[in-house]
Structure 1
Amino acid sequence: MDLKDKQVGKNKSFIASLKHAFRGIVTVFKEERNMRSHLLSAVLSLVLCWLFHVSTVEWFMILFCCFLVIIIEVLNTVVENIVDLVTGCSYHPIAKKAKDMAAAAVLIAASFSLLIGCIVFLPKLIELF
């Protein structure tokens, strides 16, 4: 029996992997209020890109920021769930540090995205007035 045979829960097909991944996306959007806020911000940003006819580079920057924040929020949720699983949802100072640092990653990504949004959209908004 080789190592491959001992792997438990390994997906049998690419389609099964996709189903699990989509289930994860649905779960994080259903269960995480912040993820829904990030999605709303991303949609608003993309609508603004369309309305202001931004350049290809600006589209790329905004899309990058949208996906970056969503990815980091998913990872933050993973960290929170693992910490809760390991600690049994009881308080532990190291668990708090791990959760705080994961939340900090989201804050940093969101702040970066806000800065990029200001760089792209403020000049266009100023032109309107």
Structure 2
Amino acid sequence: MNDSTAPFTFIGRIRSMRYAIAGIGELLVSQHNAWVHAAATAVVVCLGLIVGVTPIEWCVLILAITTVWVAEALNTAFELLCDVASPDFHPVVKKAKDVAAGAVLLSALGSVAIGLIVFLPYLARWL
């Protein structure tokens, strides 16, 4: 079915949101790394509230958090598609999955760097 010709409807947008929320739920239920990301997100938000980061710092932190979550979601979707396309081991599929996992790692490392840049000055004042 070609949805590009379907008219815009409010009900259709709500249905799309339900699918997206179901996808996030699947990510949280099926991916252990998502639990790590959820814990890290909670720590960053709590620490940000405790130290009183500025609005600009919140924007940077939210962007970093979102980047990691998006990378994890895309990696999960990619892995699921790879598993369907090639249920048996294939070295190229392994490489593709490794690259996708590497993208998550890169986004997480970048987010850690951002967190250190934002939080170290606040934490240094307490020491």
* 1:116 aligned onto 2:114: yes
Task: State the one-letter code of the partner of 1:104.
Answer: G
Match of residue 94 from structure 1: 92
Unaligned runs of 5+ in 1: none
* Structure 2 unaligned residues grouped into runs of 5+: none
Residues 62-115 of structure 1 deviation map (CA, whole Å, 9 limit, x = unaligned): 111111100110000011101111011x21111001100100100000000000
Report the Cα distance in structure 1 between the residues aligned to 2:111 and 2:90, rounded to whole angstroms. 32
Counterparts of 1:123 and 1:13, CA distance in 2:
47
Amino acid at match of 2:120: L
Deviation at 1:27, TM superposition (A): 0.6
In the TM superposition, 1:1-129 aligns within 5 A as 13-88=12-87, 90-129=88-127
Q: Any idea what SS the aligned residue of 1:122 has?
A: helix
RMSD in angstroms over aligned alpha carbons? 1.9
In structure 1, give the amino acid aligned to 2:82: V
Displacement, 1:29? Answer: 0.3
Residue 13 of structure 1: how far off its partner (Å): 1.4
Shift of 1:4: 5.6
- Counterpart amino acid of 2:25? V
Amino acid at match of 1:43: A
TM-score, length basis structure 1: 0.89
Which deviations, in whole Å up to 9, do the C-alpha atoms of 1:21-77 show, x marking residues without a partner? 111111110000101110110111011111001111111111111111001100000
Letter in 2 for 1:15: I
Aligned residue pairs, count = 122
Aligned identity (percent) is 33
**SS of residue in 1 equivalent to 2:89:** coil
Give, in whole Å, the separation in 1 of the partners of 2:50 and 2:115: 14
Aligned-partner Cα distance in 1 for 2:35–2:70: 13
| Per-residue deviation, 1:16 | 1.4
Tell me, in whole angstroms, the C-alpha distance in 1 between the residues paired with 2:62 and 2:14: 26
TM-score (norm 2): 0.90
